[in-house]
C-alpha cells in the first residue's frame, strides 16, 4: 500500500503524514510512503488551468501509477484524484493509468475505518482526557460522502469527548486558491469556525484535511484563541498502546 502524504503533508505537516504511516502499519498494512513533494494538480484545475494542472499532476501519477492501493492524507486530494483525474487526463496517452490510480485511491480515515478496522489498532486511550471537535471538510463531506468514518475512529478513543459544532458542515473558507483570491471573505469564514470551536469549549480541533487545519488554526493563532489542532492520524497515533507514555 502506498501512502500519498500530499504536498501540504510533505512540506508543512510531516508529523501528520508520519503518524498516518504508523497508524496504517499498526492496522496491518505494509506501507511505502511517497517522499517527494508532489501535488495532485487541484489548485490549477480549480482555477481552470487544465494544462498546468495536468503538468503538475503527471509527477504524482508517475509516483502512484504502479501502486496496488493508495491512501491519501487529504479528503481534498483524494477527491481530485479519484473523481477528476480521469477527466484531467482524458484523451492523453496516460488516461488508462490515471483511471487505474483513481479507482485505487482512498482517504485515510475511511480506509482505516472501513478496510483495516479500528479494532486492529488495539485499545485506544488518550494520555489525558480532553474535549475535541471534528471539522468536516467540503471535499470529504460533499465530494466523497465521508462523515461517519472519522467520527467512528475518534469515538473509539477512550478519554476523548467529541463535541458537535453548530455549523460542522460549513466551509472553513480555505478552498485553495479561493483564500488567495478572496482573502477577506476567506478570513471571515474561518473566524466563524474559530468562534464555533471556542463556543463549544473544545480544547482541540481535529480534521482530515490539512488545508482546513492550516486555515482555521492559522486564524485562531492570529486572534490568540487557545485551542490546538491535530490531523486525525495524529490523534490515533498518540492513542495507540505503544505510543502512550
The confidence score (pLDDT) of residue 244 equals 47
Q: What global pTM score does this model have? A: 0.92
Pairing of strands 2-4, 32-33: parallel
- Residue 110 shares a structural domain with residue 150: no
DSSP state of 209: B
The confidence score (pLDDT) of residue 89 equals 98
Q: Which of 87, 114, 141 is the last residue of a domain?
A: 114
Q: Which of 114, 146, 180 is the last residue of a domain?
A: 114
The CATH number given to whatever domain includes residue 155 is 3.40.50.11810
The confidence score (pLDDT) of residue 245 equals 44
The confidence score (pLDDT) of residue 175 equals 80
**Nearest 5 degrees, angle CA 40-CA 9-CA 190?**
90
- Residue 51 shares a structural domain with residue 156: no
The confidence score (pLDDT) of residue 180 equals 80
Total domains present in the chain: 2
- Residue 236 shares a structural domain with residue 131: yes
Q: Which residues contact 201 (CB under 8 A, 6 or more apart)?
A: 131, 163
- Residue 131 shares a structural domain with residue 231: yes
Q: Which residues of the chain have pLDDT under 50?
A: 244-245
C-alpha distances in Å from residue 196, one per residue of 129, 137, 193, 216, 231: 21, 15, 5, 11, 18
* CA–CA dist 19, 2 (Å, integer): 14
Question: pLDDT tens for residues 111-168?
Answer: 999 999 999 899 999 989 999 999 999 989 998 999 999 999 999 999 999 998 998 8
Q: Which of 63, 90, 114 is the last residue of a domain?
A: 114
- Residue 104 shares a structural domain with residue 154: no
> Which residues form the domain of 176?
120-243
The confidence score (pLDDT) of residue 243 equals 55
Amino acid at each position: 500500500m502506498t501512502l500519498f502524504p500530499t504536498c501540504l503533508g510533505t512540506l508543512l505537516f510531516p508529523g501528520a503524514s508520519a503518524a498516518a504511516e504508523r497508524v496504517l502499519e499498526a492496522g496491518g498494512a505494509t506501507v511505502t510512503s511517497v517522499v517527494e513533494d508532489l501535488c495532485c494538480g487541484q489548485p490549477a484545475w480549480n482555477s481552470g488551468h487544465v494544462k498546468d494542472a495536468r503538468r503538475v499532476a503527471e509527477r504524482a501519477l508517475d509516483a502512484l501509477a504502479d501502486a496496488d492501493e493508495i491512501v491519501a492524507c487529504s479528503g481534498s486530494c483524494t477527491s481530485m484524484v479519484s473523481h477528476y483525474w480521469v477527466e484531467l487526463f482524458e484523451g492523453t496517452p496516460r488516461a488508462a493509468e490515471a483511471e487505474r490510480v483513481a479507482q485505487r485511491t482512498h482517504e485515510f480515515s475511511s480506509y482505516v475505518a472501513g478496510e483495516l478496522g479500528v479494532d486492529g489498532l488495539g485499545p485506544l486511550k488518550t494520555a489525558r482526557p480532553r474535549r475535541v471537535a471534528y471539522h468536516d471538510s467540503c471535499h470529504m463531506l460533499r465530494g466523497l460522502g465521508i462523515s461517519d468514518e472519522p467520527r467512528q475512529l475518534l469515538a473509539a478513543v477512550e478519554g476523548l469527548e467529541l463535541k458537535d459544532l453548530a455549523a460542522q458542515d460549513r466551509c472553513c473558507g480555505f478552498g485553495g486558491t479561493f483564500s488567495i483570491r478572496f482573502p477577506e471573505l476567506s478570513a471571515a469564514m474561518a473566524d466563524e469556525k474559530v468562534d464555533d470551536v471556542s463556543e463549544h469549549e473544545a480544547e482541540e480541533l481535529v480534521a482530515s484535511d490539512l488545508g482546513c487545519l492550516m486555515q482555521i488554526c492559522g486564524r485562531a493563532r492570529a486572534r490568540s484563541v487557545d485551542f490546538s489542532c491535530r490531523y486525525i492520524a495524529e490523534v490515533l497515533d498518540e492513542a495507540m498502546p505503544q505510543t502512550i507514555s
